[in-house]
Structure 1
Amino acid sequence: MQSSPINWYMTAPQTCPYLEGREMQTVLVDPAVSLEDHHYGQLLARGFRRSGQFVYRHQCPRCNACVPVRVPVHAFRPNRAQRRCLRRNADLDARLVTRPDLDEHVQLLRRYLRSRHPGGGMEDTTRTDYAGMLSDRNCGVLLIEFRRGPTLLAVAVTDHTPQGLSAMYTFFDPDLPERSLGTFAILHQIEEARSRGLPHLYLGYWIPGSGRMGYKTRFQPVEGLIGGGWQRLDPG
């Protein structure tokens, strides 16, 4: 990284939100830098991720539990449970939108956060907060809505680069657990990447033994960035 013209910043240690008793540090790309989509794609392949205007990678001094993961989409085949999920949601209409109803999205996002992540500090996300989440750092952003008739059930915010898609954030109706809408959104993004001729869908971080991240290794084959190289991971 020392030879790069991009400035990098290291955050101060803070309490890890994933593993009790550990500290987390994060490398940030200078927020003032305008990233082209291929540069961001190269960063994805090196374990970085985007959250709003921030492109970052966890780099903790005494821990390497967070493993960036991606699905090689052309090799992916849905398992039995995922095929059932596809059938259950066959009545949904998935569409790419460029002018979303932000108020409608925020209403659904708040319901999702209050149900799935209570006490996380984001339950009162505003329209401005959400618009910031969609900030693309000059990278292409795909906004995918999933509707049943006129009713919005889920939204997937997906970054587009020449190296692949990145599932940046997904939220959905928390009162429909039987639909497994989070799984359905990932399956759709895998197909979206495949249809565009892109090699990978990046799923962010996975931590072995973490119940809330275990779903990521169910999309087989899946690869993890371990020791500087991408390796096949077994189902979790």
Structure 2
Amino acid sequence: MQQDPNDELLKLRFYATPPHTCSYLTEQQATTVFLDPEKQISSKLYTRLSESGFRRSGSHVYKPYCQQCEACVPVRIPAAKFRPNRNQRRCLKRGSFLEVKIQPAIFNQEQYELYERYIHERHSDGDMYPPSESQFKDFLLCDWSQTEFICFYDKGELIATAVVDWLNSGLSAVYTYYNPDYSYLSPGRLAILTMIEIAKTRELDYVYLGFLVRNCQKMKYKSEYRPLDCFVGNHWIQLN
């Protein structure tokens, strides 16, 4: 696709990291491109970056840029076209007793303790271990983004939180953490299905899921949503 010379992205400054071990495919070397951290990011620019496959981690906006590998594919769900399959309908039914609240994305002990337990029990072998309060803030919160927590409660107890950014045209799923005792509810799937419903209600076009990584089992879940848009060759193509 020919690039518009007036495209705002062409005027931005980006920085590339040295090659490092890929966190998704450990046999691969990865390079990550970051937006200039001094750049002031508006909602319009953040939306435009998301439409071009970028993601947010803390206050940093990034995208894989690996010369020898194209396994990471940005994906998004067209909310209005989405229809849940049988497993997804079952997930919604199982979790229907939970109370859902949308809250400001701020640090508090209730949120942190849930996050801490989740990382300890589910990701003790990952690069986010061990968790800390500063890591929680640096990873999930951001001064310039419109971020909120979609919280799931069982009789007043917080059991799952989906961290989402509000874009001009959609929601961007940043991270989901939950009480492992509730794994039987498939909280990650339930969170995405809830995001889709919220996007529909607010007449937003998409739910951005980040990267679908070929041959990475822990990212495979993103492929179960249909239709699914994939950012390939600098434009979005839809899988039905």
TM-score category by the smaller chain? Answer: over 0.9
For 2:3, the equivalent position in structure 1 comes to none
Q: Deviations over 1:217-236 (max 9, x none)?
A: 111111111111211236xx
Matches within 5 A, 1:68-107: 68-98=74-104, 102-107=108-113
Answering whether residue 116 of structure 2 is matched by residue 110 of structure 1, we say yes
Gaps of 5+ in 1: none
SS in 1 for 2:81: coil
Answering whether residue 237 of structure 2 is matched by residue 231 of structure 1, we say yes
Q: Percent same amino acid at aligned positions?
A: 37
For 1:28, the equivalent position in structure 2 comes to 34
SS in 1 for 2:148: strand
Gaps of 5+ in 2: 1-6
Between 1:60-69 and 1:204-213, the stretch displaced more is 204-213
- Letter matched to residue 180 of structure 2: P
Runs (4 or more) in structure 1 with deviation over 6 Å come to none
Question: C-alpha distance in 1, partners of 2:213/2:203?
Answer: 29
For 1:179, the equivalent position in structure 2 comes to 185
Between 1:133-142 and 1:16-25, the stretch displaced more is 133-142
For these two proteins, the number of residue pairs brought into alignment is: 234
- What is the aligned counterpart of 2:138 among 129, 132, 143? 132
Answering whether residue 199 of structure 2 is matched by residue 196 of structure 1, we say no
From the two aligned structures, give the one with the greater helix fraction. Answer: 2
For 2:22, the equivalent position in structure 1 comes to 16
Question: C-alpha distance in 2, partners of 1:228/1:177?
Answer: 36
Between 1:96-105 and 1:54-63, the stretch displaced more is 96-105
Q: Deviations over 1:26-65 (max 9, x none)?
A: 1101122120011001101100000111100000011111
Q: Deviations over 1:55-106 (max 9, x none)?
A: 0000001111100000000000111111111111111111111275621111
Question: C-alpha distance in 1, partners of 2:124/2:232?
Answer: 32
- What is the aligned counterpart of 2:57 among 51, 55, 60? 51
Q: 1:230 to 1:119 in 2, by over 3 A?
A: same
Give RMSD over aligned pairs: 1.8
Determine if contact 2:124/2:130 at 8 Å carries over to the other structure: no
Question: C-alpha distance in 1, partners of 2:95/2:144?
Answer: 33
